[in-house]
Amino acid sequence: MKRVAVLGGGPAGASAAERLAEGGLRTILFDEKLAWEKPCGGGLTYKAYNRYPYLIDNSIPKRVVTCTRLAAPGAAEANVELPKPLVIYSRYDLNGMLLARAARAGAELEQARVTALRRVAHGWEITAGRGKLNVDFCIVATGARNSLRGVGAQLTAEDTMLALGYYLPQEQEHVDIQFLPGLEGYIWIFPRNGHLSAGICGKGEPARKLRARLELFLRERGIAWSEDSFFSHILPSLAQPAWRRNRLSGDGWLAVGDAGGLVDPVTGEGLYYAIRSGDLAGQVLLSDAHPPEHKPQAYRALVDRDFALNLEAGAAMARRLFLGRFLWAGAPQRMLQLMRRSPKLREVVQDLIAGTQGYLGLKRRLLRSLDGGVLEATLGLLLSRFVPKESA
């Protein structure tokens, strides 16, 4: 293998290109825009910057957030301090940093849109801009709106969520998360450099209804917005059955980030999985352990082992956590009420936000921490209803 094309220049594509170029493969990254802004993105968990310290050890402007406020109808707010903070960038700045790292490693950056991809005898023929190029292998990093047929995840309506919102010319120090009745999703307000991002993400509802929910929330809090600052886009949010049939790789190609459906189905967080999958794809292509025809299977196995099985477990519980009912109230309401009274549960939520607590081990950890009191018994019953059983 001598030449690899990376189709897309977001965090997933840039991370794959950096890894491949560092390993000595000629790497050409194609993207129509290269660095661009994405209004609701840019938040990195502790899990991300702990594994990749360059994500925090840099001079790029960023917000370090140490508190999240969770709220649900019928429950008082629960403040969650974040000893392992969230780090929030402008996506333009974050993308620019990752692309610069790829270029320094030796990747060639081409500002051009890939319009066609054709399998040929010894690789691929790529049509980009006004020219054609032959390569040995492709990394598909085109995002959720992938227009290239035959490669990347096949996302159905049931496997996506819609995110939309507004820029707000205001400041605050904390993150707000608001759960809503009947919505598999939530409203957020994120502090960013010089403004706030206020939005809503959800499954199973049209954009107009989600937008109406968000605008009612903002109006009730006296928050003004401008139509000029509106944004919307689609996020992968695979239902549990879709994880096993997800088209993550194939003959001569590997999909990374949103193009592979690699997004947390509970939180909608995708940056870590974009960067991590790009890194893993680069590792597989550079490895001599598998011949080229076996690399798609090797990549899928590595992604499953590293994080996809955990996300599949999250998909099994997502709908119940958002829409389930317990003791005559919604599950989010009861969970917040328990959080306000249980330091142990707040610690678990802190670790979920930091990314250091996975879904696979969630029930076991919580049950191990209970000491038999009334609160703990209630929490144990709640867990039995909403968190999937785990294998021993």
Between the alpha carbon of residue 170 and those of residues 230, 240, 386, the distances in Å are 15, 38, 37
Task: Return the structure tokens found at 384.
Answer: 């039995």
Compute the distance between CA of residue 331 and CA of residue 180 in angstroms, rounded to an integer: 11
Compute the distance between CA of residue 15 and CA of residue 103 in angstroms, rounded to an integer: 11
Compute the distance between CA of residue 136 and CA of residue 124 in angstroms, rounded to an integer: 6
Q: Cβ neighbours of residue 101 under 8 Å, at least 6 residues apart? A: 14, 18, 54
Compute the distance between CA of residue 183 and CA of residue 210 in angstroms, rounded to an integer: 9
| Per-residue pLDDT, 392 | 43
Can you tell me whether residue 292 is helix, strand or coil? helix
Compute the distance between CA of residue 32 and CA of residue 114 in angstroms, rounded to an integer: 8
| Class of 3-35+91-153+239-314 in CATH | alpha beta
In angstroms, how far is CA 54 from the centroid of its own chain?
Answer: 19
| Per-residue pLDDT, 374 | 40
Compute the distance between CA of residue 368 and CA of residue 365 in angstroms, rounded to an integer: 5
Say if residues 130 and 71 touch (Cβ distance below 8 Å): no
Domain locations in the chain?
A: 3-35+91-153+239-314, 157-236, 320-386
Say if residues 258 and 242 touch (Cβ distance below 8 Å): no
Compute the distance between CA of residue 125 and CA of residue 117 in angstroms, rounded to an integer: 6
Query: H or E stretch including 25?
Result: none
Between the alpha carbon of residue 285 and those of residues 63, 98, 137, 194, the distances in Å are 35, 20, 9, 40
Task: Return the structure tokens found at 382.
Answer: 């709640």
In tens digits, the chain (392 residues) has pLDDT values of 789 999 999 999 999 999 999 999 999 999 998 877 776 666 899 999 999 999 999 999 999 999 999 999 888 889 999 999 999 998 889 999 999 999 999 999 999 999 999 999 889 999 998 889 999 999 999 998 888 989 999 998 899 999 999 999 989 999 999 999 999 999 999 999 888 999 999 998 999 999 999 999 999 999 999 988 899 989 999 999 999 999 999 999 999 999 999 999 999 999 999 999 999 999 999 999 989 999 999 999 999 999 999 999 999 999 888 988 876 778 888 888 888 888 888 899 999 999 999 999 888 887 776 655 445 545 655 555 566 665 54
DSSP 162-174: EEEEEEES---SS
Instruction: For residue 10, give the DSSP letter.
Output: S
Task: Return the structure tokens found at 360.
Answer: 């696979």
| Per-residue pLDDT, 245 | 92
Task: Return the structure tokens found at 370.
Answer: 């209970």
Task: Return the structure tokens found at 43.
Answer: 């938040």
CATH 3.40.50.12160 correct for 157-236: no
